């Protein structure tokens, strides 16, 4: 049992490291997009590239979470978390689709101040939802295995 707990803790540490890396990526995108008004002509192509990289990172991250069984292990340890863990896993395709729709919008939208403002606003909504999602996953780990989970 101790080996299982240690293995879980190692995976939980890795997962939380991934959550921090995702947060850094979101902040990088926010910094790159925010300071320049009006945005330079290449803004939409750079924004598209940023979001494509984010979508790729998210797809890999979500696949790792789903295959790694970390949330399942937390639920096995504390079954009352099952509903929340299931809800979070169901959000994965929704979050990816939301990023995908924004990418498609960028590819087809004209380069105007209204478009770039709309893209920034939509990205802020996505970033807020991603942050809430990752915080909820971290909360499940802490509820199940205690505050000493890194």
Rounded to whole angstroms, the Cα distance separating 56 from 72 reads: 24
pLDDT of 149 strictly over 60? no
pLDDT of 148 strictly over 60? no
pLDDT of 87 strictly over 50? yes
> Tens digits of per-residue pLDDT, 99-137?
999 999 888 877 776 777 788 889 999 999 999 999 999
Please tell me the pTM assigned to this model: 0.86
CATH topology for 2-144?
1.20.120
Q: What are the domain boundaries of the chain?
A: 2-144
> Directed axis angle between helix 70-77 and helix 2-33, to 10°?
130
> Tens digits of per-residue pLDDT, 7-38?
777 777 778 888 899 999 999 988 877 756 66
The predicted pLDDT at position 9 comes to: 73
Task: Name every residue whose Cβ is closer than 8 Å to that of residue 60 and which is 6 or more positions away in sequence.
Answer: none
Rounded to whole angstroms, the Cα distance separating 11 from 45 reads: 36
> Tens digits of per-residue pLDDT, 51-86?
999 999 999 989 988 886 778 888 888 899 999 999
């Amino acid at each position: 049992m101790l080996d299982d707990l240690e293995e879980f803790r190692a995976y939980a540490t890795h997962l939380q490291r991934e959550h921090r890396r995702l947060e850094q990526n979101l902040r990088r995108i926010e910094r790159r997009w925010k300071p320049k008004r009006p945005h330079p002509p290449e803004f939409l192509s750079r924004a598209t590239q940023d979001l494509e990289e984010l979508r790729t990172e998210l797809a890999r991250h979500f696949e790792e979470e789903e295959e790694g069984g970390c949330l399942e292990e937390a639920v096995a340890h504390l079954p009352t978390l099952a509903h929340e863990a299931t809800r979070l896993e169901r959000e994965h395709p929704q979050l990816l689709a939301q990023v995908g729709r924004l990418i498609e919008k960028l590819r087809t939208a004209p380069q105007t101040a209204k478009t770039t403002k709309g893209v920034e606003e939509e990205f802020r909504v996505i970033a807020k939802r991603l942050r809430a999602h990752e915080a909820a996953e971290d909360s499940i780990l802490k509820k199940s295995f205690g505050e000493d989970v890194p």
